[in-house]
Amino acid sequence: MKREQLIAAVKEQMPERRWLHTLGVMETSVILANRFGGEPVKADLAAILHDYCKYWPVQEQAKIIRENDLPQDLLAFDKELWHSHAGAYIAKAQFGIEDEEILDAIRYHTSGREQMTLLDKIVCLADYMEPGRDFPAVGLIRELAEHSLEKALIAGFDSTIGFLLSKGKRIYPLTILTRNDLIHQINKE
């Protein structure tokens, strides 16, 4: 499927505000890819699709997770995590995306994972800091992203974890493992 067709398909799946967010993630992903030696075309494609299933009914997202051998533990945690795994599945099944690096960047843009690839980091970070984002830590995240994907992502995950703690919500274990792995990567430098 051509990029323009993909964009049209994604745009019709979400409200205008979320589409503007997606455009911001696309733009920011390309900037970060160029800044840190990533592949801008892959970053753009993963960013286009990263929130494809975000506004699907949660029952449909859960069904995709249950019926397609996706991580079942997701269903015990916040529904905000589900669209990333459902979206990666749909990107492959519906749009024929076969590049596992792109699918993983979609799959892990909410939780992260240990040993994130460069593309994983780019899309995850772009989702945190695109120009339309406005939350207390976003300025720090943008500042850190001038020089370090890892430090900026740690600040992003710190913000998410702090938010979840303030709401009394459970934290997906992979997010904690991701944060710890990023700290380990920085300490090795």
At residue 113, the 3 state secondary structure works out as coil
3-class SS shares of the chain: helix, strand, coil, % to 5: 70, 0, 30
Other beta carbons less than 10 A from residue 101's beta carbon? 13
Quick one: tokens of 147?
Answer: 């020089």
Cβ atoms of 71 and 29 within 8 Å: the answer is: no
Cβ atoms of 130 and 103 within 8 Å: the answer is: no
Q: What confidence category does residue 189 fall into, taking pLDDT thresholds of 50, 70 and 90?
A: low
Cα dist from 20 to 103, 118, 130, whole Å: 22, 24, 10
Q: What confidence category does residue 1 fall into, taking pLDDT thresholds of 50, 70 and 90?
A: confident
Cα(145)–Cα(137) distance, integer angstroms: 12
pTM of the model: 0.96
149: pLDDT strictly greater than 90: yes
pLDDT of residue 188: 85
**DSSP symbol at 97:** -
167: pLDDT strictly greater than 80: yes
pLDDT, mean of residues 135-143: 96
Cβ atoms of 111 and 89 within 8 Å: the answer is: no
pLDDT, mean of residues 135-157: 97
Tens digit of pLDDT for each residue in 56-79? 999 999 999 999 999 999 999 999
- 77 residue type, one letter: F
pLDDT, mean of residues 112-134: 97
Using alpha carbons only, give the angle 142, 87, 26 rounded to the nearest 5 degrees. 35
166: pLDDT strictly greater than 80: yes
Buried b (16+ CB within 10 A) or exposed e, 22-61: bbbbbebbbbbbeebebbeebbbbbbbbbbbbbebeeeeb
